[in-house]
Every structure is written in structure tokens, then in C-alpha cells.
Amino acid sequence: MAQAKRIILASRPVGEPKPSDFRLEDCAVPEPGAGEVLLRTIWLSLDPYMRGRMSDAASYAKPVPVGGVMEAGTVSEVIASNNPNFAHGDIVLSRAGWQTHALSDGTGLRKIDPALAPISTAVGVLGMPGMTAYTGLLDIGQPKPGETVVVAAASGAVGSAVGQIAKIKGARAIGIAGGKDKCDYVKNEFGFDDCIDHRNPDLAAKLKDACPDGIDVYFENVGGAVFDAVFPLLNAFARIPVCGLIAQYNDTQSVAPKWAGALMRNVLTKRLTIRGFIVSDFAARHGDFLRDMSGWVRDGKVKYKEFVTEGLENAPDAFMGLLKGANFGKQLVRVGPDKA
């Protein structure tokens, strides 16, 4: 019988995930039943939100059960079909998770046209990360020409798109990233006006120099010390889309940041808008996103970078590295051959 592989959640992490929190298992390739398709995973998307799914704390989505396959978006090939809506060889966007093969009844599958763009972009710039950037910035941040937009984790899949969209809309884009190489790439390849290294002990002063007119939009992906530097520079009526807080995902206890006492006073006196969001909040905008972002990518107005790890067995190490900023661009795992 043909063999498949899957990675399950072996235990719930305390603090940073460790290798023993994951387990690679061999299993039989399943047979599709009536109305089902068998999927072969090609590209597996790794994203920071998965740290939350490893926890059983209350959240916006159910946690992965201990012993369950790790959750993830994937690009897959249909290799057997008993569903009239899908044929052998179709490439689809799916949520197959951390495994080489999966069954689906077709619910939630979306066909991908390999002629439009590399199929990996369906879980990157033309997928959830790109739409997160698009809707969070445009619907919540609402940048205006001449304003200053600051983006945390600017070399990542979401942050890099945020800054480039801000530039398209006529704003200044200032990135924050980890290390000189990432900062140089953000400026020279993604076209940001400047990028500050969050590891620099003079982060606050460097950011202030880069934002002489203050900050009108801050796209939050990180939290922690980065927000400490941003907070004093927020202008009146600044907008803060809160997409992620990766610096705090592994915290085991809460510590009040130094700006906590002043937060509500500044919300009032500066009339700040702070809004957390999940990309699914804007599902109705998917058509607008695909139209605009695919056009920007095609025209070279939005560029993207992929960071590829080979082999499903290496997904845990790649994910643990992602949480520490080891990736440079969109973190992908190539699970199987990409014939497209």
C-alpha cells in the first residue's frame, strides 16, 4: 500500500515550541470515497498564526487537538477524483495541513490557474498573506498620499506587501526588520523609503529620524519592543491595524509594557483607531484583492520573496525558525514536486 506522511501535534508547547511538540508519522494513502478527491500536497504554507492553534487558550479559531494533523493552507494536486467538480491534475488551494496527502469533499477548494502565476503564490502574495496586507492596510489603515506608514516585520510575506501597497497609494513606507540584509532588501528591492533594524539599540531614535512628521498608520505584526518605539511617534488620528504580535506568542506570563498606563489617554487625546482583525473578516473583498494584487504583481508594482524549505519532515524546524525571524520572505515548505 502506498505510504503517506503527516506531522501531528504531539504536545502543547509551553513557551517556544520544541521538536518534541511535533511527531512525523507514516500512514497509508487514503482512498477517496463518493464525492471525494485525493490531494497530493505540493506547497505547505507556514504562518505565525499557527502558534496560536497549538494552544488550547480561547481564540478566534479552534485549536489543533493533541494527536491531530497540524493545520495549514496548502497548494495541492488532485490525483484521484470522485467529485464531478474536480479532475485529475487540477491544482487547488486547500487546507490539507502538514501532510503529504489528504481527502476532501470539495468544500473550500479553489482551483488555481498555473498560467497566471507560480502556484506557490496562492499561499503567498496572491493568497492569505497578500489579502491580509491588502485589507488590513486599505480597509483599516486607509493611507492617504503624503502620510507615513510604518510596517513591522517588513521583510515578511505580509509586511513586504503592506509597504508596497502604501507606496502605490502615495504614502511614505518605513519598514522595521531584523538585520542589515533584510533592511537593505526592504529598501532596495521592495522600494520602501527606509527600513530600521529592530535589533539596533537605538531603534527608537532611528525610527524617529525616519519619521520626522510622525506616524499616521502603523501596521502591527510584532508588538513588544517595536511598539514601544512606535507609540510616542503616533500622530493624531493615527490608525493601527493589529495583524499579529509575534514577539509575544511564546510568552508564558503577562508583563505590562511601559506604555500601558498611557495607552488609553493617548487613544483619547490623539483619537487613535486601534483595530485587530482576521483576514476572514474581509472575505467579501476577495475579488477586489485578486484583481488589484494580481495586476500589481504582473506590472512589477508589488514584488515578493519566498523562503523555501525542502521536505515535510523539515516543517517543524522551519516553523520554529519562523517564530524567531529566521525566514526571509514568505516561508514555504515544498512537500512534493511542483510540475506546474
pLDDT: is 57 or 108 the higher one? 108
pLDDT at site 59:
77
- Per-residue model confidence (pLDDT) at position 253: 57
Q: Specify the pLDDT at position 187.
A: 97
What's the whole-model pTM score? 0.89
Instruction: Report pLDDT for 248.
Output: 58
- The band of 222, judged by pLDDT with boundaries at 50, 70 and 90, is confident
* 303-336 residue pLDDT tens: 999 999 999 999 999 999 999 888 888 999 999 9
Residue 264 confidence class, pLDDT cut points 50, 70, 90: confident
- Structure confidence at residue 28 (pLDDT): 94
Share the mean pLDDT of the chain: 93
CATH class of 3-124+304-334: alpha beta
The structural domains of the chain, with segments of one domain joined by +, span 3-124+304-334, 128-281
CATH match of 128-281 with 2.40.50.140: no
Q: Using CA atoms, how far apart are residues 244 and 301, in angstroms rounded to an integer? A: 25
The per-residue pLDDT for range 124-142, each reduced to its tens digit, is 999 999 999 999 999 999 9
Please give, one letter per residue, the 3-state secondary structure of the chain: CCEEEEEEECCCCCCCCCHHHEEEEEEECCCCCCCCEEEEEEEEECCCCHHHHCCCCCCCCCCCCCCCECCCCEEEEEEEECCCCCCCCCEEEECCCCECEEEECCCCCEECCCCCCCHHHHHCCCCHHHHHHHHHHHHHHCCCCCCEEEEECCCCHHHHHHHHHHHHCCCEEEEEECCHHHHHHHHHCCCCCEEEECCCCCHHHHHHHHCCCCEEEEEECCCHHHHHHHHHHEEEEEEEEECCCHHHCCCCCCCCCCCHHHHHHHHHHCCCEEEECCHHHHHHHHHHHHHHHHHHHHCCCCCCCEEEEECHHHHHHHHHHHHCCCCCCEEEEECCCCCC
146 has a pLDDT exceeding 90: yes
Percent of the chain with pLDDT over 90: 83
Per-residue pLDDT at 116: 85
Q: Residue 256: what pLDDT?
A: 64
Bridge-partner residues for 111, per DSSP?
Answer: 92
CA dihedral 309, 56, 324, 137 (to 10 degrees): 90
Pairing of strands 273-276, 3-9: unpaired
For position 262, what pLDDT does the model report?
Answer: 85
